[in-house]
C-alpha cells in the first residue's frame, strides 16, 4: 500500500500524538513511574534524601513532558510543510497552536484518570517545549541556509 503525500507527512505526527495519549494513562502516572525511577535514583545517589529523590523524580517527569511535546512540534512542522523545504514562521505558529491545543486536551483527559490530575502548568510546559523546538529548527535551518548559500 502506498500512502498519499498528505498522509505520509502527517503519519509521524499522528503516531506521536498517540504516544502522548498513551503516556497520559494510569500506568504512566507518577505513582507508577516511581516504582522504576526512584530505585534507580536511590542507586545513583545513595546519600540523597527522600525529598531530593522525589524532586529528581518530578524533574525527570517534567523533562519528559517538555521533550515529548518538543518532538511533537518537530513532527508537526514536517507535516505542515509537506513537500516544501526549510522553515517558515506560519508553519511554526501552526505547530505551536496545535501543540497548545493538544496539550490542553491531554490535561483535560487526565481529569478522568484516577491516578492523574490536570495541570495548566503542564500544558504551559508542553507548549514551551514546542516553542523551543521551533526556535531550534529556525536556528538549524538558518545556519544550513547560510552554509549552502540558499
Give pLDDT tens digits for 1-35.
565 577 888 999 999 999 998 888 776 766 767 77
DSSP H helix total and E strand total for the chain: 5, 0
DSSP H/E element including 133: helix 120-148
Owning domain of residue 124: 5-148
Number of structural domains found in the chain: 1
Of 114, 94, 97, the residue nearest 24 (C-alpha): 114
Distances in Å between the alpha carbon of 125 and those of 39, 69, 99, 132?
A: 26, 9, 11, 10
Confidence of residue 87 (pLDDT cuts 50, 70, 90): very high
Instruction: Supply angle C-alpha 63, 67, 68, rounded to 5.
Output: 120
Residue 118: predicted pLDDT: 80
Whole-model pTM: value is 0.87
Of 120, 117, 124, 118, the residue nearest 96 (C-alpha): 124
Q: Averaged over 41-70, what is the pLDDT? A: 92
Amino acid at each position: 500500500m502506498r500512502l498519499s503525500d498528505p498522509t505520509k507527512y502527517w503519519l509521524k505526527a499522528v503516531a506521536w500524538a498517540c504516544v502522548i495519549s498513551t503516556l497520559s494513562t494510569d500506568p504512566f502516572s507518577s505513582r507508577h513511574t516511581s516504582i522504576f525511577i526512584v530505585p534507580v535514583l536511590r542507586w545513583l545517589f545513595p546519600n540523597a534524601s527522600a525529598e531530593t529523590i522525589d524532586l529528581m523524580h518530578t524533574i525527570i517527569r517534567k523533562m519528559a513532558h517538555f521533550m515529548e511535546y518538543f518532538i511533537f512540534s518537530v513532527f508537526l512542522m514536517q507535516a505542515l510543510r509537506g513537500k516544501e523545504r526549510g522553515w517558515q514562521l506560519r508553519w511554526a505558529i501552526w505547530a505551536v497552536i496545535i501543540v497548545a491545543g493538544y496539550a490542553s486536551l491531554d490535561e483535560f483527559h487526565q481529569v478522568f484518570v484516577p491516578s492523574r490530575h490536570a495541570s495548566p502548568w503542564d500544558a504551559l510546559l508542553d507548549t514551551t517545549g514546542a516553542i523551543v523546538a521551533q526556535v531550534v529548527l529556525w536556528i538549524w535551518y538558518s545556519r544550513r541556509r547560510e552554509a549552502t548559500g540558499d
